[in-house]
Each structure stands twice: as structure tokens, then as C-alpha cells.
Amino acid sequence: MIKTIFLRCIVLLQLTMGLLASEASFATYSCTGTVDQVNVSPNGVVILASSAMGLTDVYLCQIGTTMNGVDTEPCKSILAVLLTAHATGAQIQLSFSDSLTCSTHPEWAWLTGWYYGPNLY
């Protein structure tokens, strides 16, 4: 009986330590840079490329539907900010909370961990 309780405590401790370790792998960070390209696909997906930010052809949102946690009206505003930054050479900033870095977001995929921005500088 005592041995069973002891073993359960060890398992619980290991699970807790594993959860804490996985939470520690998430970080809040921001990527800042100029916009190289802004594209809108035929189905309305807004695509951003910024070598200065380390982002290569990532999908932010989709005009006409809620996608990647962004409704269509905010998506239009995001597109306007990106187009303004591209046209003026201004920098933008996107903020993230995940286990990636600015340069490890996969290309030609939905941007993950993104929770704020783009901010125009």
C-alpha cells in the first residue's frame, strides 16, 4: 500500500516536471523588419514575406472568412498595414508566444503563435 502510494507520487512528480519543462519551452518574442512582399491568393489568403524578419511566405489571415483566429474585417486592416509598410519602406512588428523563433516559422504555412500586430513603425 505505501509502496503504491509512493510510486504514484513519483509518477505525479514526473508528470508535473514534464509539464513545467514543456511550458518553459514557450517564449514571448517579437519580429521586426521591412516587408519584402505582400500577396493575396485567389482565395483571399494574405501572405507576407520579410527577409529582415526571417519570415518567408507565411499566411496571416484570409479575407472573406475567419482563419488563423482572424476575422475578415481585421484581416483587411492587416492587409492595409502590410501594404502601407511595403509602399513606404516602414518596419512592422509581429509578436509571438510559442516555441519557435522569427526565422523558424515554416514557409508556405499558417503563422502560429502570433498574437499581436502588425505594428507599423
**What pLDDT band is residue 26 in, cutting at 50, 70 and 90?**
confident
Alpha-carbon distance values, 39 to 26, 49, 62, 71 (Å): 29, 9, 11, 18
| pLDDT the model gives residue 2 | 60
Output the domain CATH number for residue 47: 2.40.50
Whether residue 1 lies inside any domain: the answer is no
Pairing status of strand 109-110 against strand 55-62: parallel
**Shortest CA distance to 58 belongs to which of 35, 74, 42?**
35
Residues constituting the chain: 121
Provide the number of structural domains found in the chain: 1
pTM for the predicted model, two decimal places: 0.78
Q: What is the pLDDT of residues 46-102, one digit of tens each?
A: 999 999 999 999 999 999 999 999 999 999 999 999 999 999 999 999 999 999 999
User: What is the phi-psi region of residue 43: left when phi exceeds 0, alpha when psi lies from -120 to 50, beta otherwise?
Assistant: alpha
What is the span of the domain harbouring residue 89?
27-120
| pLDDT the model gives residue 1 | 56
Whether residue 101 lies inside any domain: the answer is yes
Whether residue 87 lies inside any domain: the answer is yes
Whether residue 44 lies inside any domain: the answer is yes
| pLDDT the model gives residue 27 | 85
Whether residue 64 lies inside any domain: the answer is yes
- Asked whether the beta carbons of 26 and 20 are under 8 A apart, the reply is no
